Structure 1
Amino acid sequence: MAEANQVFGYLINGKPASTDDPTPTSAQILSDAGYEPADDYLLIQRTRFGSRVVSSDDVLSVGDGHAEFFAFEGGEAFEFTVNEHSVFWGEQTISVDQIRHLANVADDDDLVWVREEAGNAVLKSGGVFELGEQGLEHLRTHKRPPPPPLYVFFVDGVEYETEHEHLTGAQITAMIPGWNPANSLVLEGEGSEPDEVIHPATVVEFKGRAAPAHFAIVPPATFGGV
C-alpha cells in the first residue's frame, strides 16, 4: 500500500513537480507538471554533462529524485557541444549560466567559445549565447588561472591594494586621492629599521615583507628641504 501512494519528485523549468510512476513517459512528466496538452511541448532532460531531447516513446527514470527537465512550447531543438558532449535547448538563446549548469562546468573553469575565424572567446557569467546562427557551435572548458596575489599597504591608516610586487614612490602617491606634491611620503621602518623618505623614483618592495608596509604623509614643514 505504501508503494501505491509513493510519489517521485523531479524538476521541470526549475520548479519541483512529482509523479506516481518511477518510470513515466515524457507525456506523463509534462502532464503531471501542468504542461498540457503534452504534445504541444518539447521536453529536454538534463544529462550528466549536457542534455538530450526526450522522444514521445522514451521511458524515463525519476526514482532517484534527481531528474531535471525543461519544457518548451514548439518543437525546435538547438544543439551545441561542451567538451564534445551534446547539449540541446528549446530556444535560440540560452544564458551562459544555464550552459554552465547543464554542462556541469566547475566554478573555477572558464567556458570558451571555439571559433576558427574570429578567435576563441570566453563566455562571461550573466551573458547570453546565441544558438543556430552559425550551425553547430562548440564550447570547451579551461581551468581559470589563479588571480595574482594582492599586496596590501597603508597610507595614514588607509588600506590600499596592488597586484604589483613593488611600486615606485610616484606610483604610490598617484593612488592617494588629493595628493599634495609638497608633502613627503615616509615608509615606517620594520623593527629597529629607521623610517625612510620615499622619493618619486624610490622602489618599495611589497613581496616578502613580514608585515604590510605602512606609510605616513608628512607636511613639508616637518622635513624642511628634504
Structure 2
Amino acid sequence: MPSNDNSRPAEAHNAPAQHAGSHEIQVAGPDLDFKPVRLDDATPTGAQIAAALGYRPDQQVTVLHWFGTTIEDVRPDELVKLHEGETRFIVAASDGASRLTIDGQRIDWLARHISVATLRRLVNIPAELSIYLEHEDEPDELLDENHQIDLGLRGVERLISRPATWKLNVQGELLTLHMPTIVVRDALQQAGFNPDQGWHIFLKVEGHPKEPVELDTVIDLRRKGIEKLRLTPKDVINGEGPSVPLRAFPVLSVDEAFLDAKFPSWEAVLDGGRQWIVVPNFTLPPGYSVQQVHLALEIQPTYPAVEIDMFYLSPAVTLSSGAQIPATEAMVTIRGQQFQRWSRHRTPTGPWKPGLDNVKTHMALVDNALLKEVQQ
C-alpha cells in the first residue's frame, strides 16, 4: 500500500542544476506539475531517475512512466529508453504502486488516492464523458471531478467512462436525459404532456415534502433523491379556482404510480377514521343510468396484508332499463357524500395475495363486475 508521503526531497528542486547531461525528462509528483530534469544516460533505470531528483538509495520511491495514455511502474533496476515524446515520469516517495482499470485499461498509480480530474487527464478522457465506478449488484456510481478514489478499498479499481445520463419520472413516463438540468416545460413535452393544458406540478424528492414548481423551473437532476414530477389537472369548479387533489395519507409506491398514470385526479381521503382512495369522474361502461361517477375503495390500515374488498360509487347507479342491481342496496357516507356499496368479493379460487395484489389488480375486479352487470 502506498504511503501518504508523496513529497519530493528538498534537494530534488536543485536536481536540474546538478545534472548537466544532454537528455531531458519531465518529472512531476501526483499533482502532475511537470518540471524538466536532465540526465546523462539515454537509458536510465528507475533508481537513476529517483537519484536525479535527490532521493537516497535507501528511500522507498515509486517511479511511473507516462507515455500516451499508458502509466507503468518502473522498477529500480529496469531500463527505460527515452524515446521522443515519451519522457514524462511521475515520482513520489511510496512503498509501491496501486492499480486500477478504466475502460479495461490498466493504470498504475503511486498513491492510495487519485482524483477523478487527475485520472481524466492521465487517460485523456474528454469532458463530454463522465467517469463511473462500476458496481455488480447496484447501479454504477457517477463520480464528481473532485472525488478522491480510494484505491485501497476492494472493488474501487473498476471504472468506466461514458456519456452521462440522468433519469426523471414524469407522471409515469421515464425520461433518459443527457444533460443534468432540464426546464419543467421541456420535461412535460418530452414525456408527451401538453404543458399549456393547465397543471398543478409537484417535484417529489425523497425525504422532503413535495415541492410545487412552475413551467419555467429548472430541475437539477444531480440533486440526490429526486423521484418524479407529479401532474394534476387544474380543475376549476363554479369559479372557485383550481382544486388540488387531497392526499391525506400515504399509499404504496406501486399504487401511486398506477393511479398517477390512469387517474391523475385521484385522492386519498380520511373520513371518520377510515381511509379511502377516491377516483373522480370514473367512466362506466354503456348500460348504466349515468356515464360518470366517483369511485371509492376502502384501504384498511393493515393493507396490503389485508385485502381491498368491494367498491363504492357516487351517485348510486341502476341499469339503463331502470332495473336494480343485486347487492348494491347499502350506502356509506364519505365526506358528506353518499356512495353506493357494491358487495363484490374474491372467491376461494382467486384469493387476495399480499405482495402481488394491489389497487391495480383490484381495479380489474371492479371493471369485471361493472361489465358483468351489463353483460359485456
TM-score range, shorter chain: 0.5 to 0.7
Q: What is the aligned partner in structure 1 of residue 25 from structure 2?
A: 9
- 2:113 & 2:40 partners in 1: Cα distance? 33
Q: How far apart are residue 130 of structure 1 and its match? A: 0.9
* 2:179 alignment partner in structure 1: 147
For 1:133-158, what per-residue CA distance to the aligned partner results, in whole angstroms no more than 9, with x for missing partners?
115621111134653898xxxxxxxx
Cα contact 1:9–1:65 (8 A) shared by 2:
no
CA, structure 1 residues 164+69, in 2 after alignment: closer, same or farther (shift >3 Å)? Answer: farther
CA distance in 2, matches of 1:99, 1:49: 10
Which moved further from structure 2: 130-139 or 100-109?
130-139
Distance 1:75 1:68 in 2: 21
Q: Which amino acid aligns with 1:95?
A: S
| Cα pair 1:95 1:129 within 8 Å, conserved | yes
| Distance (whole Å) between structure 2 residues aligned to residue 98 and residue 70 of structure 1 | 12
Q: Is the 8 A contact 1:31 1:38 kept in 2?
A: no
**Separation of aligned partners in 2, 1:9 and 1:102:** 17
Give the counterpart of 1:67 among 60, 73, 87. 87
For residue 63 of structure 1, report the CA deviation from its aligned partner: 3.9
Please say if 1:36 is aligned against 2:56: yes
SS state at 1:101 partner: helix
Unaligned runs of 5+ in 2: 1-19, 166-177, 190-194, 200-213, 219-240, 243-376
Letter of the structure 2 residue corresponding to residue 134 of structure 1:
R
- For 1:60 and 1:5, the matched residues in 2 are separated by 16
Conserved 8 A contact 2:43-2:81: yes
Letter in 2 for 1:132: G
Which residue in the other structure is 2:154 paired with? 134
CA distance in 1, matches of 2:54, 2:21: 20
Seen in structure 2, the aligned counterparts of structure 1 residues 172 and 134 have a Cα distance that, compared at 3 Å, is closer
5+ long unaligned stretches in structure 1: 151-161, 176-199, 202-226
The 5 Å alignment of 1:155-194 reads 162=183, 164-165=185-186, 168=196, 171=214
Give the structure 2 partner of residue 118 of structure 1. 138
Cα RMSD, aligned residues only: 3.3
Note if 1:109 corresponds to 2:151: no
Aligned length: 163
**Structure 1 residue 173, shift from structure 2 partner:** 8.2
The 3-state SS of whatever aligns with 1:139 is strand
CA contact (8 A) 1:8 1:63 kept: no
**Alpha-carbon distance in 2 for matches of 1:61, 1:113:** 34
Q: After superposition, what is the alpha-carbon deviation per residue over 1:101-153, rounded to whole angstroms, capped at 9, x for unaligned? A: 22221221111111112321111111111112115621111134653898xxx
Using a 3 Å threshold, how does the CA distance of structure 1 residues 115 and 174 change in structure 2: closer, same or farther? Answer: closer
- Pair 28,141 (structure 1): closer, same or farther in 2 beyond 3 Å: same
User: Which has more radius of gyration?
Assistant: 2
Output the CA distance in 1 between the equivalents of 2:98 and 2:217: 52
- Does the CA-based 8 Å contact 1:10-1:66 persist in structure 2? no
Distance 1:37 1:117 in 2: 46
Q: Bigger shift: 71-80 or 83-92?
A: 71-80
Between the aligned partners of 2:217 and 2:133, the Cα distance in structure 1 is 38
Residues 80, 172 of structure 1: CA spacing in aligned structure 2 closer, same or farther, 3 A cutoff?
closer
Q: For the residues of structure 1 that align with 2:217 and 2:98, how far apart are their CA atoms?
A: 52
Letter in 2 for 1:9: I
What residue in structure 2 maps to residue 76 of structure 1? 96
Give the CA deviation at 1:60. Answer: 1.1
Match of 1:53 in 2: 73
Identity percentage of aligned residues: 21
